[in-house]
A and B are shown apart, each in its own frame.
Chain A
Amino acid sequence: MIRKISAALAVSAALGLCHAANAATEDDLKDLREQVRQMKLDYEKRIDALERRLQEAENAAVRAEATARNAGATASKAATAANQAAVQASSRPTGENAMNPGVSLILNGIYSNLSQDPNGFRINGFVPTMGDVAPTMRGLSLGESELAFAANIDHHFRGTLIASISPDNNSAAIEEGYLQTLSLSNGFTLKAGRFFSSVGYQNQIHAHAWDFADAPLANKVFLGNQLSEEGVQLRWVAPTDLYLDVGLELGRGRQFPGGPDGGRNKNGFGSSNLFTHAGGDIGASTAWQAGLSYLSTSAQDRSYNDLDATGTTVSSSFSGRSRLWVLDGILKWAPNRNNTYTNFKLQGEYFRRSEDGNLVYDTAAASLGTQTGGFASRQSGWYLQGVYQFMPMWRIGYRFDQLNSGTTTLGLVDSGALGAADFPVLGSYNPTRHTLMADWSPSEFSRIRLQLARDRSRRGATDNQVLLQYIMSLGAHGAHKF
């Protein structure tokens, strides 16, 4: 560009000089030529200088560009490093509380207004379980507080301990304390220790997660409220898209329907439970699960107290086989499986039990003297409950319980040694109960519940119950069990 300009200047200068030449002398011409030569030299010098400066500027620009590139690379390296540092900084070590087990605590309190005395509670038609089946005491009371610890032990095992602290006798009991395997693979899981038996559906759920304040009547008479077994459980989940599991539990039979209380003094096991579940989804909004379990126990000296015909409290005990079949089903519905706003849960179980063995009347010889006779019973019971969340935080539910005392054959009565009046609690009777509840859960961690029930467990005495309960959960996040 600059060269073109200088050429143009030279040409125009030359043209201009031609005009002047006509009028000028030879000397003048010389002078002029000299001047032109000077000018040319002068311009060339200036042009050179300009070109040099331009070259320098260009070099500087290239250098600046390179520097900028380097700076950019450094900056992006710094950004990557900073990002990595941020990732590091923002990731706390995962796992429950670094290395401490996850700890959670359940607080539970209740106000109960009962039209019948809970101390006289019994479920007529059925062998008393000696379990914790009676309604809570009247008035205000603190329920059982629950303290749970759980964590992975290593890559093979996970451990869980759940203790319930009873306010009445200031004692802590282990509800569950077990290990379970993580590394057996192929769908197998082994559990060992004390755990809620996988018999039926409701039995495995801790009381604070129940949809009603108390257990169904069937769970009370067939499982002594809640069966916690000591033993081992092997469970296998099938490799299918439809959920299918099969499991076997072997236990010591430490609780009803086993016995005596605490289990027999013998090697081997006193109870076995075989169970299977299937479950899946229906459409975009419904999920289901169905289960079948068979609990077989061999009880020895499983005792209970009753008033005989003379009005004396006598202790009787059963030894023999107890077989319990439980069929359970759960159906859950939530629009598009989004249970935040509305959802519905239908749950029901059917129990069928047969017991065969001997019954010893008046083991302590406190009344008519100790006598032994045969014992056989075929009994059943069921419940069905539905819980509907109609808006966030609010749920209502209804449960119906019915027991069928079926047939109970007593050898001592058949032989005429004793009368049916000596076994009043075993007399034929079909208890029923209606329960309504409404609860409010301002967050996932708190719940306040009102429950009304009309309980006809006792022959000839309807217990109208009003319960107001709170359940609070502190610490580690609870599990959303199906």
Chain B
Amino acid sequence: MKSIFKLVIAVAAALAALPAFAAINVFACEPEWGALAQELAGDGVSVYSGTTALQDPHRIEARPSLIARVRSADLVICTGADLEVGWLPLLLTQSGNAKIQPGSPGFFEASQYAAKIEIPKIVDRSLGDIHPSGNPHVHLDPRNIATVAQVLGERFIRLDPANADVYRTRAASFQERWRAAVQHWEQQAARLRGAPIVVYHRDMSYLINWLGLREVGSLEPKPGIPPTPSHLAEIVERMRREPAKAIVYSAYNDPRAAEFLSERARIPAVMLPFTVGGSDRARDLFGLFDDTLARLLATVK
């Protein structure tokens, strides 16, 4: 009798521990949008990120495990602006999932809600792998995160109206915490304003724009083209004349080119996490910017 009672208790406890509502299956093309979905919906979502911070989001292959995840997704959150042009269309058409096709409520492109910069005047592949609709890496300006969060929160309500209040409360709480954090980051970073830096790929442009840094060169001779010895030599020469304060590269970049330049030009090189998961501290969106600023402040003297 006692053991049956114990069992009943255990089962009841297990049931209570289950989420109160069926989770929305989210497929995030990049970890930052997965992290944002988690912030805005908490237990209401089960998030799978198709890529990690150690992968170049341009060069993903539509591998079987990704098709399988998109097949079961209720919501696909991607950057858009052609960042995933090589692989997302394949995932969508191979998935046999009508819920997440473009134009459906289950398809969300974050960059549509952010003001894009670096929109090329001339669209030509001789300029490298450029994005006709502008630089897609919008998440590195935290103000864009706030704007996207606004729309994404509404999207959750649309997909799961029964839990609208939960999403509203979570969104309000996130926005408040985010506003305070952005203010704090901006104060912290005030002294970085105007600092000249060299980047690896132009994936930091929104960060640079937000903090008022000055990009004075990139290790890639052209977007998407790996660094070449002659191009590096040219930058070394330029850095001798007008030294930059730092060389920044992303977690998914090979550090060797940055280290080469760092040694020759005597400029510190710093790896930035780029997205959630790019470093131990960048465990969520707050950690991403905390760590990015900490690393920049420690490098740019």
Instruction: Name A residues whose Cβ lies closer than 8 Å to a Cβ of B.
Output: 83, 86-87, 89-92, 94-95, 152, 155, 158, 180, 182-189, 235-244, 277-281, 287-289, 332, 336-341, 392-393, 442-445, 474, 477-482
Contact A392 B226 (CB under 8 A): yes
State the Cβ distance, A82 to closest chain B Cβ, in Å: 9
Which chain B residues (30-65) contact chain A, with CB distance < 8 Å? 52, 54-56, 59-65
B237 proximity list for chain A (CB < 8 A): none
Q: Are B93 and A477 in contact (CB under 8 A)?
A: no
Given the known interface contacts A338-B55, A444-B129, the answer about A281 and B98 at a Cβ–Cβ threshold of 8 Å is no
A478 and B119 contact, Cβ closer than 8 Å, known pairs A336-B52, A339-B59: no
CA A367 to CA B52, docked complex, whole Å: 68
B residues less than 8 Å from A442 (CB atoms): 225
B147 within 8 A of A: yes
What 4 pairs between A and B have smallest CB-CB spacing?
Answer: A279-B64, A243-B64, A86-B115, A90-B116
Bitwise interface map of B from 120 to 138 toward A, beta carbon under 8 Å scored 1, else 0: 0000010011001110000
What residues of chain A lie closer than 8 Å to B229, measured between beta carbons? Answer: none
Question: Does B194 sit within 8 A of A, measured CB to CB?
Answer: no
Chain B contact residue count (CB 8 A cutoff): 55
Decide if B172 is an interface residue (CB 8 Å cutoff): no
Would you list 21 pairs from A and B whose C-beta atoms are within 8 A, ordered by A residue? A92-B132, A95-B102, A184-B96, A185-B98, A239-B71, A239-B72, A240-B68, A241-B68, A242-B68, A243-B65, A244-B68, A279-B68, A280-B64, A281-B65, A332-B61, A337-B55, A443-B224, A444-B59, A444-B224, A480-B61, A481-B90
* Residues on the B chain within 8 Å of A95, using CB: 102
Minimum CB–CB distance for A472 against chain B, Å: 10
A291 to B89, CA, bound (A): 22
Partner of A83 from the list B59, B90, B115 (CB cut-off 8 Å) is B115
Which B residues touch A480, using CB under 8 A? 59-62, 86-87, 90
CA of A125 to CA of B148 in the docked complex: distance in angstroms? 64
Name the residue of chain A whose CB is nearest to the CB of B53. A336
In the bound complex, residues from chain A placing their C-beta under 8 Å from that of B64 are: 243, 277-280, 287-289, 482
A2 CB to nearest B CB, Å: 40
CB atoms of B56 and A236 under 8 A apart: no
- The residues of A that contact B155 with a CB separation of less than 8 Å are none
CA A341 to CA B132, docked complex, whole Å: 25
In the complex, residue of chain B having the shortest beta-carbon distance to the beta carbon of A282:
B65
Contact B224 A90 (CB under 8 A): no
In the complex, what's the smallest C-beta–C-beta distance from B31 to chain A, in angstroms? 13
In the complex, which residues of chain B have a beta carbon less than 8 angstroms from the beta carbon of A479? 62, 86-87, 89-90
Name B87's closest neighbour in chain A (CB-CB). A480
Q: Is the CB of A189 within 8 A of B96?
A: yes
Q: CA of A472 to CA of B146 in the docked complex: distance in angstroms?
A: 42
Given contacts A332-B63, A337-B54, A340-B252, contact A241 B102 (CB under 8 A): no
B145 within 8 A of A: no
Q: How far apart are the CA atoms of A393 and B220 in the complex, in Å? A: 14
CA distance A340 to B59 in the complex (A): 7
Contact indicator B61/A235 (Cβ below 8 Å): no
State whether A287 touches B62 (Cβ < 8 A).
no
Given known A-B contacts A187-B71, A444-B129, A481-B62, A94 and B102 have beta carbons under 8 A apart:
yes
- Distance between Cα atoms of A337 and B55 in the complex (Å): 6
Alpha-carbon distance between A165 and B15 when the two chains are bound, in angstroms: 63
A83 partner residues in chain B, CB cutoff 8 A: 115, 147
Inter-chain contact B96/A90, CB cutoff 8 Å: no
Chain A residues with Cβ under 8 A from B254's Cβ? Answer: 340-341
Closest-CB distance, A94 to chain B (whole angstroms): 7
- Which of B106-114, B156-164, B182-190, B259-267 interfaces with chain A? B106-114
Name the CB-closest residue of B to A290: B64
Query: Looking at the complex, which one of B99, B112, B147 makes contact with A91 (CB distance below 8 Å)?
Result: B112
Q: What residues of B have a CB within 8 angstroms of the CB of A279 in the complex?
A: 63-65, 68
A332 partner residues in chain B, CB cutoff 8 A: 61, 63
Closest B residue, CB atoms, query A280: B65
Q: Which residues of B contact A189 (CB under 8 A)?
A: 93-94, 96
Report how far A219 CA is from B63 CA in the complex, Å: 23
